[in-house]
Amino acid sequence: MIRVRTEFALIMLVMPARSIGSGTVSFGLVSIPVKLYSATQPSAAISFNLLHKKCGSRLKQQYICPKDDNEIVERDDMVKGYEFAKDRYVTFTPEELKALEEKSTQAIEISEFVPLEKIDPVYFDRAYYLGPDKGGEKAYRLLSEVMQRTERAALAKYAARGKQYLVMLRPLEGRLIMQQLLYADEVRPFSEVPIESAEVKEPELKLAMQLVDQISSDTFKPDAYEDDVRKRIHEQIQRKVEGQEVQVAAEAPQQAQVIDIMEALKASLARKPTAPSAAAGGGHDEERKPAKRAARATEPRAKASKK
């Protein structure tokens, strides 16, 4: 069964993308009909079901009322409510809940253009690809090109599925990506995180920069990374399906904690780099040559400081 699902997933990867919706991008008096495509695909997350230990049957979920002697409540007897105070609720009918929803206009109304680097990725949520719908090819290309040249992104509001979303449109190689953003009140301020002050010494900074140069690449290669844990779990599940036992790996010995930062940096520089991009593309050594030269360029200054 596991193998059949894997083959099916591979077949799905080569199929052309299917639109999940349509909309209209508007800025000024210009309207661009577009189609929405999901930019991501399910990661085939591994989930386990709860079974009855006695007979192996899958268990069903039930809702009970603790106030009425744990009475089982059927779905027809359930209503939705909002807790406005401790253990105090106001209930809503399905019609009232429907009236509260935002009307889905499918309109993507651009409010302003801002420099792309000014939008912190901490606000990024789900991403969608936008493609031109019939008749919108030229205007679509125009918007993408002007955003590319000005290095700006567009902030817009988008109403769908009963909600209003804050979205960002950004260009990518002549195309447009719609990035759903979190609202300001959905992102916690970094100031809530306690950070003690610490002094960074110049020799530590130089060694750390050499380490960064040593394991740096000029490009991001996402195919160089894969979920090793999910792969291992799939392999062990397949063993169980075939009647074998799960292999329990021996616990790896814990490495001694290095307290001295300088010693840790020196030891890290002495290790052979194992960047994932080297295994995927084979061109990592070429990309690292400028970094090596940069590291050597710092040596005369380091010697001079010793004098």
Q: DSSP for 40-72?
A: -----------B-TTT-PBP---EEEGGGTTEE
Strand partners, 108: 25, 158
pLDDT in tens, 38-61: 998 766 678 889 999 999 999 998
3-state secondary structure of 11: helix
- pTM > 0.85: yes or no: no
| Alpha carbon distance 199, 219 (integer Å) | 32
pLDDT in tens, 157-167: 998 877 889 99
Q: What φ, ψ does residue 128 adopt, rounded to 5°?
A: -135, 150
Which of residues 280 and 216 earns the better pLDDT score?
A: 216
Whole-number Cα distances in Å, 221 to 218, 277, 281: 10, 6, 8
**Which CATH code for domain 16-42+102-186?**
2.40.290.10
- The residues, any chain, with a CB within 8 Å of residue 206's CB and separated by 6 or more, are 298, 302
What pLDDT does 277 receive? Answer: 54
Task: State percent of the chain over pLDDT 70.
Answer: 78
pLDDT in tens, 199-230: 888 988 998 998 888 888 888 888 888 888 88
Which of residues 189 and 239 earns the better pLDDT score?
A: 189
Q: DSSP for 108-165?
A: EEEEEEEEGGGS-GGGEEEEEEEEE-TT-HHHHHHHHHHHHHHTEEEEEEEEETTEEE
3-state secondary structure of 250: coil
Which of residues 301 and 151 earns the better pLDDT score?
A: 151
What pLDDT does 276 receive? Answer: 66
| Alpha carbon distance 171, 149 (integer Å) | 10
| Alpha carbon distance 67, 74 (integer Å) | 15
Banded pLDDT at 119 (limits 50, 70, 90) = very high
Banded pLDDT at 121 (limits 50, 70, 90) = very high
Banded pLDDT at 241 (limits 50, 70, 90) = confident
What pLDDT does 258 receive? Answer: 55
- CATH 2.40.290.10 in the chain: give the residue spans: 16-42+102-186
